[in-house]
A and B are shown apart, each in its own frame.
Chain A
Amino acid sequence: MKKHDLFDSIGNVDDKYLEECEKEQVEATYKPAGILKTVSVAAVFVLIFGVVAILPRLLFGTPSPVGPVVSDTKIDTTETEPPTDEPIYDDVPPPVEVIDAYGEATRAANWFRLTQYGMNIDNNDSVTIDGIPYYRVTDYESYADFIAYLHTLFSEEVTAQLLESTIMFKEYDSKLYLAPADGGSNICIGGESLFYKVVNDKRIELTARVDINDVADRTDPDPKGEVIGTVDVVFPYELIGDKWVFTDFPDTDAINTDSFIGTALKTKPELYNYYECGGMTLVLPKKYELNYSVLMNSPEALNALKLNEELGDAVTLDNNMLFEVFFRRPDGVNDGEHYTERFHQIFRIVRYTPGEYERNVLGSIVARREVLGYDGEYYYVMWHPTDAVVVPDEDASVYYSTVNSCEEAARMLFGKYNGLEAASPTDFYQRTYTYDSDHIYYRYYPYGTENEEKHGTYYTFVLSQPADKGADGIWCVERWYTSPGADGRGYIMPVFPDSGDLSAKEFYENLQRKVSAGQTAVLVKYLDPLCVAVTAAREVIGHSFAEASYFIEVDGLPDGEWTY
Chain B
Amino acid sequence: MTDEAIIEMFFKRNEEAIRESDVKYGKYCIAVADNILASIEDAEECVNDTWLRAWNAIPPERPNVLKLFFARITRNLAINRYRAANAKKRGGGELDAVLDELEYCIGDSDTESMFDIVELSRAVNEFLGELEIRERMIFLRRYFYAEDTETIAMRYGITKSNVRTILSRTRKKLKAYLTKEGYTV
Contact = CB atoms under 8 A, between A and B. Distances in A.
Contacts of B106: 1-3, 6
A197 to B, nearest CB: 14
Given A9-B124, A15-B64, A48 B156 contact: yes
A545 interface: no
Contacts of A32: 153-154, 157
B79 interface: yes
Interface in B110-147: 110-113, 115, 117, 120-121, 123-125, 128, 132-137, 140-141, 143-145
Question: What's the interface size class on B, roughly?
Answer: 35 or more
A61 to B, nearest CB: 14
Contacts of A22: 67-68
B57 interface: no
Interface in B60-114: 64-65, 67-68, 71-72, 75-76, 79, 83, 98-100, 102-103, 105-106, 109-113
B157 A95 contact: yes
B99 A30 contact: no
Contacts of B183: 1
A96 B141 contact: no
Contacts of A66: 132
B158 interface: yes
B140 A49 contact: no
B99 A13 contact: no
Interface residues of A, number: 40
A5 B68 contact: no
A17 B72 CA distance: 13
A22 B67 CA distance: 9
B140 A11 contact: no
A34 to B, nearest CB: 10
A516 B182 CA distance: 101
A5 B76 CA distance: 12
A193 B64 CA distance: 27
Nearest to B157: A94
Nearest to B71: A18
Interface in A4-26: 4-15, 17-22, 24, 26
Contacts of A2: 106, 110-112
B184 interface: yes
B155 interface: yes
A7 B65 CA distance: 22
A10 B155 CA distance: 21
Contacts of B98: 7
B96 to A, nearest CB: 11
A67 interface: yes
B134 A49 contact: yes
A473 B53 CA distance: 100
B68 A15 contact: yes
Count chain A CB atoms within 10 A of each CB in B111, B117, B141 and give the residue with the most: B117
A12 B158 CA distance: 27
Nearest to A23: B137
Given A6-B102, A6-B105, A13-B124, A26 B110 contact: no
Nearest to B112: A2
A1 B108 CA distance: 9
B143 A10 contact: yes
Contacts of A19: 65, 68
A31 B184 CA distance: 39
Contacts of B79: 7-8, 11
A4 B99 contact: yes
A95 B137 CA distance: 16
Contacts of B144: 10-11, 13, 18, 21
Contacts of B153: 32
B72 to A, nearest CB: 7
Contact of A67 (B102, B132, B140): B132
Contacts of B141: 21
A15 B128 CA distance: 12
Contact of A96 (B67, B112, B113, B157): B157
A35 interface: yes
Contacts of B156: 26, 48, 96
Contact of B125 (A7, A13, A24, A48): A13
A73 interface: yes
A27 interface: yes
A43 to B, nearest CB: 14
Given A3-B110, A15-B68, A48 B121 contact: no
Interface string B40-67: 0000000000000000000000001101
A7 B100 CA distance: 10
Q: Which 9 A-B pairs have the closest CB atoms?
A: A94-B157, A12-B121, A9-B120, A9-B121, A70-B133, A3-B103, A67-B134, A3-B102, A9-B124
Given A24-B137, A66-B132, 19 more contacts: A1-B110, A1-B183, A2-B111, A3-B99, A3-B102, A4-B83, A5-B120, A11-B76, A12-B124, A13-B144, A15-B65, A15-B68, A18-B68, A20-B133, A21-B144, A26-B156, A27-B155, A94-B158, A96-B134
21 contacts: A3-B106, A3-B110, A6-B105, A7-B99, A8-B79, A11-B72, A12-B125, A13-B124, A13-B128, A18-B68, A18-B144, A21-B141, A21-B144, A22-B67, A24-B155, A32-B154, A32-B157, A48-B156, A69-B132, A70-B133, A97-B157
